[in-house]
Amino acid sequence: MLITFEGIDGSGKSTQIELLRDKLKKNNQKVSVFREPGGTLVSEKVRELLLDQNHVIDPVTEALLFSSARSQLISEVVMPKLERQEIVILDRFYDSTIAYQGYGRGSMPIEKLQELSKIASHGLVPDITFYLKIDIDQSEKRRSNFTRDRMENSGVEFYRRVIKGFDKLAIQESRFVTIDASRSVKEIEKNIWNLVADQLK
């Protein structure tokens, strides 16, 4: 099973991923968690480039770099684990590329970016995608004391466009489960676990 988590920075993805991973392990499931971009030596090096504030990266280059890192992660690590019937949780997948590089950056037409994403993911589609929805004001408040990387310094209007992108994907994709990320951690955790437990049955 492939489970992905999406949402803007500050939505609580990392917290919920950790809680879900621990719950699955307690239920004797083999589970691995990877972040995007990252998860392999090659992908982590690409991540360093993408997040380094010293670099000015063209939007098309940015989209291609994210996709390159994804391709390496999927081919090298994720697909072999799925073939062994293990559960894989991804902190971001190609939906982030559509939202950030497509709607946010306007790097290329959405249709073209979707084609690129399909190639980079080797045709892999998540079984379920949890979209932790939060507005930009709450996100800014939660991230006020954090050091920001190159992507996180893209500005409020950029993030408004990204949210619109995620909202459109949530309507278009039946695998999306939209969760109000302003709710308590416990409420969200319970909601997610109930849905994953149903999938496991």
Give the β-pairing of 87-91 and 128-133.
unpaired
Q: What are the beta bridge partners of residue 97?
A: none
pLDDT in tens, 76-135: 999 999 999 999 999 999 999 999 999 999 999 999 999 999 999 999 999 999 999 999
pLDDT tens track for 159-192: 999 999 999 999 999 999 999 999 999 999 999 9
Based on the number of CB atoms within 10 Å of its own CB, is 67 exposed (0-12), middle (13-18) or buried (19 or more)? buried
pLDDT score for 16: 98
* pLDDT interval class at 150 (50, 70, 90): low
**pLDDT attached to residue 201:** 84
Q: What is the pLDDT of residue 144?
A: 65
Question: Are 11 and 133 a contacting pair, CB within 8 Å?
Answer: yes
Residue 155 has a pLDDT of: 79
- Angle at the Cα of 17 (from 16 to 21), degrees rounded to 5? 115
Report the C-alpha gap between 152 and 156 in whole angstroms.
10
Phi and psi angles of residue 29, each rounded to the nearest 5 degrees, phi first: -100, 140
CB of 5 within 8 A of CB of 92?
A: yes
Comparing 142 with 8, the larger pLDDT belongs to: 8
Helix (H, G, I), strand (E, B) or coil at 98: helix
| Angle, helices 41-51/59-73, rounded to nearest 10 degrees | 160
What pLDDT does residue 53 have?
A: 86
